[in-house]
Structure 1
């Protein structure tokens, strides 16, 4: 029998999120049923709820930074048991047979991954609904283990903000001796600082906002450069092996390219729109520099990240909210009024029944 679930949903691009009941599928033999405890609030949730990317299918139940406990497992599941603390990130399935999936990079599935919400289940064609809800049913191949050492509330954003910054740092082999800069100090940027520092890099924050030095250093930065100050930017020329650019809106990449060493990489993880103003190709050619991009991470590297976080005591800086406050949280997020990630206490759903 399908599971009747309480959650919060957007019914249109212009209506606030509100209580919504929907059905989860009957568990399949390879499924894990998870009672959700906490769900992080990602900027993508707001974009999807308001159809900013022009692909939302309503109702939308957002949420892809999910922490919960296993309440049931299918007959073919051997890696999880009832009571385990687990997580679910941005994807809940993929084709499982293309070159990307075979390499453990399901986020680049050539047939397209199945998104945790605002997606379509590959097997039954039903819409997927996310973590702003009391329970979720997910194939065991897309569930990750979460150590009891970690605060489950602060671990929730690791499933998106964490893996989005971890994956490129690992791909470009950031470690001791690397000189890394992070552009932007938000939900992604603060995790980039923490990870780069824990991996052994010398870490710089680029920011447009004066007065962030103490905060940046608390999060792992060794240096802070005010990117609106030409003198500071000139002093940073040809310094960095790798720049992690977390800014989600169009901005000038050229000043940052000038701070890369020979063979340096500027990696975009936040920007999904056209680059404006245009990139000066000479800055790329004359320094053999690269502009690259990276999207979330595969399941194996998400597990690797969570294990690293447990070993090094790394979690996100969060503000816990009740689900009834989600619309206010969205408005605050638009004003960058959060340090650095909202997390919903799903127990508050009981008050919304």
Structure 2
């Protein structure tokens, strides 16, 4: 067994605190990783607070992980000791269903769906057909920790040209926005709208611009209008009816990145006929849609969930090739509770990344 230390929440109302635990040694097909950096995602906060009603405690969050390989199992061929690697939202899947067989593990249809990097299976074990987690683990602990052990197929290569701290948010914020941009065929000359400009939204802007699109950001924060301009996008206050009206029937694709439920109806008229508005930020029930706006121009509202392992490697390579990196602020793990508060209050520009070497202060205590 491997002795590990991390930061965990014990209840939905508790702060994250130091937590000592053990991980199983790497199996033949697994990789042991020393965690160097881990991004802070709004979904970490949702999970810690049990806002999706599925949290398993103690909860060690973190799914934007960059680290160094320290040990490999006997059958591992894709990674070597010393490699700089990444781990995103998934560390395994059922491997047998149609999505898994076709490289879409993020849509795994197995009894428990894919195995999350933290918080165990996507479906609580009590709801599985035989009451057990089919991956052999009742809970998983994430990247707010000193070490991870992951199946080699779910470990990503961090390409040259990406700093490890900047690469971390690409493993979630990057692929969550890249995957729908790719799926709906965004290409040069398209007009793309991005609703919200936080951790996901600012990556969506950078990626869409690199694909050659013309990008407009819809935000409720006036300060972000200038930030959109600095990235090369146009900024619009989303509640400004005078600004929205001239944009009707003009967008090829709109991506909503707001992490809570919100009203999509003001944006549907902005789509061209036969085009799509995709939601990636919110996972809870949304406000009702005006189907007249959808039906009269055959518009669609859709969702997208993170991205596959192939998508994740692709976006890492794309970012390296186009010199794209998220805007980050590096923090210590000891500051994580304050960071959570600032993320909830939209006070970070745009992604916190934890320097996990700060965990050594806990080990020394």
TM-score (norm 2): 0.94
Partner Cα separation in structure 1 for residue 165 and residue 135 of structure 2: 32
- Residue 245, structure 1, aligned to residue 256, structure 2: yes
Q: Distance in 1 between matches of 2:31 and 2:286?
A: 41
The equivalent residue for 2:203 is 191
- 1:113 corresponds in structure 2 to 114
Query: Quick check: 2:42–2:259 contact (8 Å CA) kept in 1?
Result: no
Give the 5 Å matches for 1:145-224.
Answer: 145-221=157-233, 223-224=234-235
Change (3 A) 1:186 1:195: same
CA contact (8 A) 2:61 2:142 kept: yes
Q: For residues 126-145 of structure 1, what are the structure 2 equivalents within 5 Å?
A: 126-145=138-157
Aligned residues: 350
Distance 2:178 2:7 in 1: 29
Alpha-carbon distance in 2 for matches of 1:274, 1:16: 27
1:318 aligns with 2:328: yes
Q: In 1, distance between residues paired with 2:224 and 2:50?
A: 33
Distance in 2 (CA, whole Å) between partners of 1:114 and 1:38 is 21
Name 1:89's counterpart in structure 2. 88
Question: How far apart are 1:250 and its partner, in Å?
Answer: 2.2
What does residue 261 of structure 1 align with? 272
Q: Structure 1: state its 5+ residue gaps.
A: none
Query: What TM-score does the superposition give when structure 1 sets the normalisation length?
Result: 0.97
1:79 lines up with 2:91 in the alignment = no
Contact 1:323-1:344 at 8 Å conserved across structures: yes
How far apart in 1 are the matches of 2:17 and 2:221? Answer: 35
Secondary structure in structure 1 of the residue aligned to 2:254: strand
Quote the Cα distance in structure 2 between the aligned partners of 1:169 and 1:228. 25
Distance 1:218 1:280 in 2: 34
8 Å CA contact retained: 2:208, 2:215: yes
Q: How far apart are the structure 1 equivalents of 2:292 and 2:240?
A: 23
User: Are the counterparts in 2 of residues 66 and 88 from structure 1 also a CA contact under 8 Å?
Assistant: yes
Is 1:302–2:303 an aligned residue pair?
no
**1:267 CA drift (Å):** 0.2
Which whole-Å CA distance do the structure 2 matches of 1:198 and 1:280 have between them? 33
For residue 147 of structure 1, report the CA deviation from its aligned partner. 1.3
Q: Distance in 2 between matches of 1:335 and 1:220?
A: 25
The answer to whether the Cα contact below 8 Å between 1:85 and 1:148 also exists between their aligned partners in 2 is no
Residue aligned with 2:227, SS: helix
Q: 1:220 to 1:98 in 2, by over 3 A?
A: farther
Distance 1:164 1:270 in 2: 9
What is residue 23 of structure 1 aligned with on the other side?
22
CA-to-partner distance for each residue in 1:2-49, whole Å, 9 max, x for gaps?
101011111111221111111111211110111110000111111111
Report the CA distance shift for 1:7/1:230 in structure 2 as closer, same or farther (over 3 A).
same
Offset of 1:212 from its aligned partner?
A: 2.5
Report Cα offsets for 1:305-340 as digits up to 9, x if no partner.
101111111111111110000011111111111001
Shift of 1:211: 3.8
Determine the structure 1 residue equivalent to 2:127: none
1:210 shift after superposition? 2.2
| Cα deviation 1:101-136 (Å, max 9, x = unaligned) | 112110100010000000146442342100000110
Indicate conservation of the 8 Å contact 2:194/2:257, yes or no: yes
- After superposition, give the CA deviation of every residue in 1:177-197 in whole Å (9 maximum; x if it has no partner): 211000001000000000000
* Conservation of the 8 A alpha-carbon contact between 1:31 and 1:74: yes
CA distance in 2, matches of 1:114, 1:48: 15
Match of 2:354 among 344, 347, 352: 344
Conserved 8 A contact 2:4-2:146: yes
Kindly provide the CA deviation profile for residues 208-256 of structure 1, in whole angstroms up to 9, marking residues without a partner as x. 22242321122231x2222211111101111101000011222221110
Superposed CA RMSD: 1.1
Structure 1 Cα separation of the partners of residues 210 and 41 of structure 2: 23
8 Å CA contact 1:36, 1:133 repeated in 2: yes
